[in-house]
Amino acid sequence: ATIRRTEPTAGSGDSARRFGTQRVLVEPDAASGVAVMKFKNPPVNSLSLELLTEFIISLEKLENDKTFRGVILTSDCPRVFSAGLDLTEMCGKNPAHYAEYWKAVQELWLRLYLSNLVLIAAINGACPAGGCLISLTCDYRILADNPKYLIGLNETLLGIVAPFWFKDTLVNTIGHRASEQALQLGLLFLPAEALQVGLVDQVVPEDQVLSTALSVMARWMAIPDHARQLTKNMMRKTTVDRLVKQRDADIQNFVSFISRDSIQKSLQMYLEKLKQKKG
């Protein structure tokens, strides 16, 4: 994928400089050590191969810059945090493309889930499937209080199955029983329900999502990095190792599953339904 970097905006200091790429805006504040990363892949921030690639590059840049200790993930698109994996990447393409795409999805998850940075999701819009997965890799989730902003792993509604590492990430967050129900039914939770089940940590008025994320970030950044990072690693490494050990097999499994005629038909029908919703 071709990556076009955005020009820094005019400003006096580092904190006024933006960097990033076409689809991932990064607003760094060197003074606080916090960067706000905004997804900008209109209309719905679907996780296309380009967005995944740019996301990984921007994250790596922040990980390698010791100025930054915390990142807030949020959306630049109105009403949608992320619509999840890009269905057009999983429909009507060839096996090599599916393999490349899935490797990028795995790569992003692996980097986010064990990131040394404090990651906070400021969820300012709908957050289904892969969008929910991204928020679940964060250390803390704040969701805007809007009944349209549903969140959850709804894969079964599309006739597909959440991979084991999506499931593991959910189980690590809300426990086994709640995950079993949520995954089988493909539940998309309203904000109050998401809070109750522990899928998000806070629900706040829409105009307070970012300010809340910044104040929560201050609390997390008050903890010495090495102790917090080792603790995060202790909690999450077993889950990550499971995928690392069978990464290639997981790619093969995805490619053969997604290539089935029945799965392609289900996805096509789901896409059609999304498009017809408008008319």
Ligand X SMILES: CC/C=C\CC/C=C/CC(=O)SCCNC(=O)CCNC(=O)[C@H](O)C(C)(C)COP(=O)(O)OP(=O)(O)OC[C@H]1O[C@@H](n2cnc3c(N)ncnc32)[C@H](O)[C@@H]1OP(=O)(O)O
**Helices and strands: H and E segment counts in the chain:** 10, 9
Compute the radius of gyration of the chain from its Cα atoms.
18
Of residues 157-186, which lie at the interface with ligand X (CB under 6 A)? 158, 160-161, 163
Residues of the chain by 3-state class (helix, strand, coil), percent to 5? 55, 15, 30
Label the pairing between strands 127-128 and 140-144. Answer: unpaired
Per CB under 6 A, the list member of 21, 41, 74, 154 interacting with ligand X is 154
User: In this structure, are residues 236 and 114 in contact, taking their beta carbons and an 8 Å threshold?
Assistant: yes
User: In this structure, are residues 72 and 120 in contact, taking their beta carbons and an 8 Å threshold?
Assistant: yes
3-state secondary structure of 148: coil
Let me know if 180 is a catalytic residue: no
Closest approach of ligand X to the CB of residue 15, in Å:
32
Closest approach of ligand X to the CB of residue 161, in Å:
6
User: In this structure, are residues 161 and 267 in contact, taking their beta carbons and an 8 Å threshold?
Assistant: no
- Stretch touching ligand X by CB under 6 A, among 115-123, 190-198, 199-207, 250-258: 250-258
Tell me if 92 contacts ligand X by CB under 6 A.
Answer: no
Of residues 110-129, which lie at the interface with ligand X (CB under 6 A)? 126, 128-129
Check 85, 150, 187, 188 and give the catalytic one: 85
Closest approach of ligand X to the CB of residue 47, in Å:
7
Tell me if 84 contacts ligand X by CB under 6 A.
Answer: yes
Rounded (5°) CA angle 142-209-153? 35
What are the residues binding ligand X (CB under 6 A)? 43-44, 46, 79-80, 83-88, 126, 128-130, 154-155, 158, 160-161, 163, 253-254, 257-258, 271, 274-275, 277-278
Q: Which residues are marked as active site?
A: 85, 130, 154-155
